[in-house]
Chain A
Amino acid sequence: MAEQENAVEVRDLVRSYGKTDAVDGLSFRVRAGRCYGLFGRNGAGKTTTLKCLLNHLRPRKGSVRLFGMDPAREEVAVKARLSYVPESVAFYPWMTVRETLDYTASFRGHWNREVESDLLKRFDLDATRKVDALSKGMKAQLALVCAVAPEPELLLLDEPTSGLDPVVRRDFVRAVIGAYLSGAPGRRTVLVSTHLISEFEGLIDEFTVVERGRDRLTLEAERARERFKRIRLRFPGAPPAIPEPEVSRVNGAGREVELTTFDFSEDLRARLEKLGPEWMEVENLSLEEIFIAVAGGEKNRA
């Protein structure tokens, strides 16, 4: 596969439930070999989008393509190249962990027993235990083992860390996803839908913020960090009004002012310096802070 081929392509996707538009004209594309974040608040349409990618739901309008294929027409060929971890993980309660893994492996042409064994050890999962006796977090871990062991080209994760404790969450994101991506650089792709963005800081290459079923902002992570900044200013007296159009949020306390900008540039810095602050500091924003600025801001045009 060429490195820059699109693993996922969503164009003007529309999907409604009755009169409610869950997804309303969403577009984004995920290049192969990248870790892509689909960020959004609850009910933004992230899960519906992933279900459309899996042909669990059919788009009312627009199109979805995985590896250039239509999942509705070439369902098996598409699913042979991906693994999916749903938001609410469920297994057959009478099966053991071992039986669950064997059952899942029966669907696959390729299954890496070494990866499976490593992950079972890492997560401290007992293969002889009944799935019914596992905690919610352990079930989430088992779902991840089932997803990673076949070494798919694309990993679709829907809120994958929501059931995990902080230690495992960190381990999962850094070790499991990191190892998965570096296992075949440029070939393996991750599309993760989440609002627990801080867990994926450093791994996400590109992201789309989804709001009310629409793509509000799509940016490469590096570019986002360049554009979104927090600027702290301290003035000798009362702070002046700051009418800059690139500034999305202004917080003030005494002589200090904190700004959030969605389009930082040296030009903006120069304009702010002209206001005469006695001290100015520019900080990078984390992806989570960028998401909050975009999805939760009042003046968050981007």
Chain B
Amino acid sequence: MRARLVKEIRQLAPWPAAGILLLFAVPPFLGTERLIVEFYLAYLMLAVFAPAARLFGAEFDHGTLERLLSQPISRLRIWREKLCALAVVLALAFFALQLARRLFLGSGPSASDLVVCLAAFSGGPLVSLYLRESFLALWGSMSLPAVPIWGWLFLVYLARGDFHVGFFWVHMAPMIPYIAIAYVVARRRFLTLELDQVPTRRLGVSGWLRVKSPSSFGPTARLFLKEIQIQGANLLVLPAFLVVCGVAYGLALAEPPGPGQPGGWLSILGALPPMRAGLLIFLFPLLVGATAVAAERQMGLAGWHSSLPVSRARQWWVKVLVVMSLAVAGGGALGGYLDRLLFTLLEARGVASTPLPATVIWLSIFSAAAGMYASSRAREPFRALMGGVALFLLPLVPATSPAALQIRGAGLRSFFFPELPEAGLYLGITLPTLALLAFAFQNFRPEPWLWEKSGGRALQWVVLGGLLLATGFWY
């Protein structure tokens, strides 16, 4: 029993541990209360949703569930022990957050934090047991609460006839049944789980992407198709966002909030991170970048691909082109315009008519490069995503310091990254982007030109850390 609990805690602990470390280390450097609150959303992703998604997701990632279910203890007991470990980890994450709120914001316990933790506690296992991996389960478990919330708001609309009902996580009404139902369904799913040869997440999506291109197209065309297929599941994120944001947009047009009225339906955009279009600007490129190399490694295809008679450089540039195209189109352009559109609708400021600043595009490229670098080192996309998020956040600490905020202009209402002045853009983002891509390529090569044993990895970290922090201080 003890060995099993230790193993479960060990499996879940790294993410909350890193989150708690950042929780107390970062806020002193953040300039405003709002930024601290926004930082807490990143904390919730790292310390609450990530372990919840890993509870079963990691067993699928490592291929260890078969061994676990072959052992002579009941599935019910395995379920209880795992959930017990998750409860301990989430309780620690919750109390750490309450302590941080008191220290940095002077506020008391937050009921919404408790709701988020409970939603992750039941939603994380549920989604990971269906998606059979932790990478998409993280995203899915953060997004799934939107379903009961939208349902609840619809009921409120039927009852009251208007949309102007303030709504946040703290309102327990729809979340209590969500938490209970998700728990029951997840438990049932685990107790009756069959380890059949279910196609991986890629196959379902790649089915419609699989193009029977003639062999005369050559290996490069094949490589492009393969890369798009690998990114298939991530591409589903975009239509999901479009639906959510489209609904919000339609509602805002149909019934804009009057003076003094609560934000109503649209206020949930502030409460549910995955539904904020601004997140697309960096999160989508991070997803795409994190998948690029680590997904192949996880599927056991990396060695086979390296044996193909196609140069690693060509394979790499195909990856870069696909990732960057998706990042710019999906993250920068689509995310940027959606964010500005909703910002205009919410705060009635005329920013949607102005051209999208180049920063947004550069930010997407930078995020994708961070994801690709993390992906070149990670054995699975989940770790790559987490590493990419950490790399992305690194320059934000100095960039969001009080001094930096003085030069922050109004405009793009991005989630974390302030509106950067155009001056210095190229040095500020281009250099770290190029460094990330160069080091990622060096990790991708069969024979790295920086030897691991001679401090190559340390050199990478020093150069990247220096460039990223310098980027932050630059602004």
User: Taking beta carbons and an 8 Å cutoff, which residues of A are in contact with B?
Assistant: 17, 51, 54-58, 75-76, 79-81, 83-84, 86, 88, 90-95, 99, 102-109
B220 adjacent to chain A (CB < 8 Å):
no
Q: How many residues of B contact A (CB 8 A)?
A: 24
A95 contacts across to B, CB distance below 8 A: 7
Which of B1, B71, B75 contacts A104, CB < 8 Å?
B71
Closest beta carbon of chain B to A156's beta carbon, Å: 8
User: Min CB distance, A84 to chain B, in Å?
Assistant: 4
Q: Are A103 and B196 in contact (CB under 8 A)?
A: no
CB distance from B89 to the nearest CB of A (A): 16
**Which of B1, B62, B67, B74 makes the CB contact (< 8 A) with A86?**
B67
Q: Taking A56-B194, A106-B4 as contacts, is the C-beta distance between A93 and B62 under 8 angstroms?
A: yes
Contact of A79 with B194 at beta-carbon distance under 8 Å, contacts A95-B7, A103-B7 already known:
no
> Whole-angstrom distance between the alpha carbons of A50 and B473 in the complex?
60
B69 interface contact, C-beta 8 A: yes
Instruction: Verify if B197 is at the interface (C-beta below 8 Å from A).
Output: yes
Using known A-B contacts A106-B4, A107-B73, determine if residue A90 contacts B194 with beta carbons closer than 8 Å: no
Candidates A75, A84, A106; contact of B75 at CB < 8 Å: A75
User: In this assembly, does B63 line the interface, its C-beta being within 8 Å of a C-beta of chain A?
Assistant: yes
B64 within 8 A of A: yes
Say yes or no: A90 contacts B62, CB within 8 Å: yes
Partner of B194, one of A57, A102, A108: A57
Instruction: List residues of chain A with CB within 8 A of the CB of B75.
Output: 75
Task: Give residues 1-20 of B contacting A (CB, 8 Å).
Answer: 1-4, 7, 10-11
* CB nearest neighbor in B for A90: B63
CB distance from A46 to the nearest CB of B (A): 13
Contacts of A75 in B (CB 8 A): 74-75
Per the bound structure, the CA–CA distance linking A79 and B69 in Å amounts to 9
Instruction: Report B-chain residues with C-beta under 8 Å of the C-beta of A57.
Output: 194-196
**When the two chains form the complex, which single residue of B1, B62, B63, B196 contacts A106, counting CB atoms closer than 8 Å?**
B1
Prevailing SS type, chain A contact patch: loop
B195 contacts across to A, CB distance below 8 A: 51, 56-57
Q: Is the CB of A90 within 8 A of B3?
A: no
The answer for the CA separation of A93 and B10 in the assembled complex, in Å, is 11
B72 at the interface (CB under 8 A from A): yes
Complex CA gap A54/B195 in Å reads 10
Contacts of A88 in B (CB 8 A): 63
Q: A57-B196, A106-B4 are in contact. Are A91 and B64 (CB under 8 A)?
A: yes
> Given the complex of chains A and B, what is the CA–CA distance between A91 and B74 in angstroms?
20
Cβ–Cβ < 8 Å partners of A90 in chain B: 62-64, 66-67
Inter-chain contacts of B67 with A (CB < 8 A):
84, 86, 90-91
Q: List the B side residues contacting A51 at CB < 8 Å.
A: 195-196
Indicate if B216 sits at the interface (CB-CB under 8 A): no
Of the listed residues B4, B73, B196, B379, the one surrounded by the most CB atoms of chain A closer than 10 A to its CB is B196
B353 within 8 A of A: no
A-B contact pairs, 15 of them (CB 8 A): A17-B196, A51-B196, A55-B69, A56-B70, A56-B194, A56-B195, A84-B67, A86-B66, A86-B70, A90-B63, A91-B62, A92-B7, A102-B3, A103-B4, A105-B3
Minimum Cβ distance to chain B for residue A215 (Å): 21
For B379, the chain A residues whose CB sits under 8 A away are 93
Closest 5 CB pairs of A and B: A90-B63, A80-B72, A79-B72, A107-B71, A106-B3
In angstroms, how far is the closest chain B Cβ from the Cβ of A143? 8
Residues on B with C-beta less than 8 A from A81 are 72
A105 and B71 CA atoms in complex are apart in Å by 10
